[in-house]
Amino acid sequence: MDTPPVNHHAGHPGFAGPIGTAMGLYMFLAGRQRARMVADLASVTSADTVVDIGCGPGGGVAAAARHGARVTGVDPSTAMLRLARILVRGNGIGWTQGVAERLPLEDGAATVAWAVATVHHWPDVTGGLAEIHRVLAPGGRFLAMERDVAADAKGLASHGWTETQARSFADHCRAADLTDPRVEGHVLGRRMFWTVSAIRP
């Protein structure tokens, strides 16, 4: 049997308009603990320059900034970026519209890159990982996180990864010349999350 794709919702229309803004506010409030966990797992310090790929309303950006890092939030949705600019303010924070496959950043611009609950929306996983390799400085860290989902889940309940999909994404990282990909499970509250971490050599 074929492995289910790690970007199985790539055709999702995204977030726009008043409904997108309302969803963004909910995501910001509900995702604060997860954002803190991501920053801790990535070992973010004040020496880091972070890029949050698919930053949504900015929860991950806020968490990185609290660690003293310079951070850029990248998202394709103007509604999400508009909300993020209202919710998250501070020195060393930037916002830009873009997608994983065409990150609007210079080569080697970041020491940390993460994608939280967004890889399953990427139209092109290979292209997205090539861009991450490009924008990370040598020795830079990459972290992807998705919630654990059942293999037979449908609709919103399927937005995430099974363990098989997480391990498949680790193989994609290896193919993109991101070294030492590690798959780990983490529990936060009542939810289980999968992370894949790797290093840009």
| pTM of the shown model | 0.91
Place of tokens 């399953």: 120
Place of tokens 């967004």: 118
pLDDT attached to residue 168: 97
pLDDT attached to residue 12: 53
Confidence of residue 1 (pLDDT cuts 50, 70, 90): very low
Find out whether 76 and 15 touch, Cβ atoms under 8 Å.
Answer: no
**For 18-48, how does the pLDDT look when each residue is reduced to its tens digit (9 = 90+)?**
666 667 666 776 778 999 999 999 999 999 9
Q: Give the pLDDT mean for 53-64.
A: 96
Q: Is 127 helix (H, G, I), strand (E, B) or coil?
A: helix
Domains, the chain, ordered by start: 17-200 (3.40.50.150)
The residue that leads in pLDDT, 15 or 85, is 85
Q: Give the pLDDT mean for 76-87.
A: 91
Q: Is 189 helix (H, G, I), strand (E, B) or coil?
A: coil
Whether residue 96 has pLDDT greater than 90: yes
Output the six-digit token pair for 91.
Answer: 């020195």
- The least confident of 38-47, 82-91, 125-134, 170-179 is 82-91
Q: Give the pLDDT mean for 49-66.
A: 96
Whether residue 182 has pLDDT greater than 90: yes
pLDDT over 70, % of the chain: 88
**For 111-163, how does the pLDDT look when each residue is reduced to its tens digit (9 = 90+)?**
999 999 999 999 999 999 999 999 999 999 999 999 999 999 888 888 899 99
Cross-strand bridge partners of residue 196 = 144, 183
